[in-house]
Structure 1
Amino acid sequence: MRIGIIGAGFAGLTTAYRLAQAGAQVTVFEASPQVGGLAQGFSQDRWDWPLERFYHHIFSNDSAIIRLSRQIGWPPIFYRPTTAIFSHGRTYPFDTPAHLLLFPHLSYSAKVRMGAVLSFLKLSPVWKPLESISAHEFLTQSMGTEGYQLIWEPLLQAKFGERYREVSAAWFWARIHKRTPSLGYFQRGFQGLADQIRDSIQHMGGRFLMNSPVLSIKRHNTRLSIETETEAVNFDRVLVTSSTELFLRMVRGLTPWKREQFVKLPMLDALVVVLVLHKPLMKNIYWLNITDKDFPFVVMVEHTNMVDPSHYNDQRIIYLGNYLPQDHPFFNLNNSEILNLAVKQLRSIRPDFQEHGIVDSFVHRGREAQPVIPLNYSKHVPPLQTAVPNLFLANMSQVYPWDRGTNYAVDLGERAARAMLQ
């Protein structure tokens, strides 16, 4: 059986790997020069490991990606970093019950209510009733206004902007339920893992066509034809792992699609600044959530407070990130202007920060990186098998109730492979 897969992110790679294991002839089409999708890395002179353009880690219960990585001989390395919160002009550790109790800006009763709600979400496997209520409404009612307005509402607003009241409480459940104190990373980063999966697929006879954006998918007799700028290749079955919008453009001439069959999830783009510094910025803190609504970036991640800086020439790596609508004014700024925003934020958090401590900087923009999950979305999740026989779709809209991430991309790829082998 000849199978074409469009997209070499972790969903496409996983599907290709499992199908190649089953004896299928697999060809993967990828528009960029690298595999890995949003987890792609970039390198610099004297770095031993590449670095993700957008910060990545896994949790210790991310079973799908852990299982796959171990099977191909590229297991994760686990760490126990510190998560903190920036509130009232100071940084506070905020990843244990003790940290919550010691946080000085909430009353004791608000701390107890918040701890009870977070414990319930962490322990309860039941999410379905939560999808009919927004996270805003659920947290206001369960935690009370004090804790919600001080901590969680600013974080939701910063992440989802004007749409934050639309986000389902099931999404919030997934974020809390899956979180673990231990975080995982891979040798040579997620690019190293993606490259290892690619090499395993090629060893089994799989083929990769890089720098090959797909223009369309057409029917050719009883088969499906994938057309690029340079060739058209026929397959028995085809999987598309792109966004739903791009998928609909590819298959426009194939059948009279009804766009209303696909609920278009509102999507936010990612804006991330990567700073390479001479010295550490945050003492022992890996992940810093920002509750100040006036700050341009909602999170700061000091990558080298988790991963050994020796892999990056003993330099320190800081991410500043946010998710924004595509028409946000920040996307009209050039890289220097965005860097100035990042430096201003660093000085607000660390007044002694000096710009001459920056060795290098990079600005990365990612299209459709974060879906806004509406209420009752389980009724609208598209199936893997489309209305066209032997044509499959697997993308971020189908990992519900989980949030986007490499583990769920791998799990989606496993499900897609099983569906295509039936």
Structure 2
Amino acid sequence: MTLIMRGRLRYAAVSAAAILGAWASGRGAAAEPAPPYRDLLAQAQSSAPRLAEAEAGVRQAQGLARQAAARPNPTAAVEMENFNGSGPYRGTGAAETTFSVGLPIELGGKRGARIAAGRAGVDAARARLAQARADYAFELAAAYAEAEAAERRVTLAQESLTLAEEDLRAARALVEAGKEAELRSLQAQAGVTSARAALDAARTARASAFARLTALAGSPAPFTALAESLLPRPTPANLERTIDALSVPAVVAAQAEREAAARRVRVERTRAVPDVTVSAGVRRFSGDDSSAVVAGVSVPIPVFDQNRGNVNAAQGELLAAEARLNAARLDAEAELRTALFQVEAAETRVAAAVETEATAAEAYRLTRIAYEAGKSPLVELTNARRALAEARTQTIEAQLQRLRAEAGLARLQGRAPFGVS
């Protein structure tokens, strides 16, 4: 067998062993693989702290809405007069005892305004929950894809280390045969050291990516592997690319908050109208053991407190909500244009990266054959190996950016990415 044939077989064997070995080591170390993205997103609906906070906000708004519909409580009073005095009022023989019930009557549409504001608050909380779910689905998808990319970077770094070690063995063989200077062997050894450092860095990044995925999903057990691969997944042909800026969850939430703020202004204005308290009861006269009906009406005089400060505060809150709504609309329009551009650009970048990787792989194969035949210097082999590693890294990055672009588009559409319902 010729040196060229041996080099080709050795290259194929080393590449296959590196890929299978790294894959097996990553899978074998898995203590708790993350389920497929669809299942993980479904599980996280009940365990993710971020969603729990938004759901608690809805329950809070519902409680406030129920409280807003409550009517004022009546009051019961007992009054005793003309006792323990002097003269004829000694003791309790001439005492007058009054039993009465008072009922506040709200005027100016207070209760209706409160009920409308409570309902608007619930709508705003639900809109914020929908926005939180869309944002969370995007972040979980990005974390899932980043974990897979980190896993693939470890595989790539392991393969690069294996190839660097094979280059070192080839360089030493050529040095021993007198076809290369000892300097080439030292350069190859430096390449192995650099590859090992890159592998350690990739493993650290992988641990960080899986830790973030675990925390984001709210899983009690740490994830160390994935049950689904998203990066090679092509862009769906029927991907929805049309969005109305007014239907973006952030805009919907801002619109609901603006409506709730307007309702609160109405509530504060109605509070400036004084309420009437009607009372009725019975008075008993101990002196002759007789009784009589008593009734009364009381109305506060709005001289000092007309609730103007609260009205002004509510109006200021309304102006702030309108400003946030306008900003949300402008941001949504800009994000929509950017998202559509990113999806198209990501598709082109993935195609170019795959083609570049194939070219770099063939260039490395030919350069290695030429080096083992003594027709190419070590520096060319090293450069070819680095170019191959960079091309594979660019493919991973391009696929990752494509997934992020798709997930970002889904977030603006208010849905979960990758066709998850």
TM-score, normalized by the shorter chain, greater than 0.5: no
In terms of fraction of residues, the more strand-rich structure is: 1
Q: TM-score, normalised by structure 2?
A: 0.21
Q: How does the TM-score come out when normalised to structure 1?
A: 0.21
Select the structure that is richer in helix: 2
Which is higher, the Rg of structure 1 or of structure 2? 2
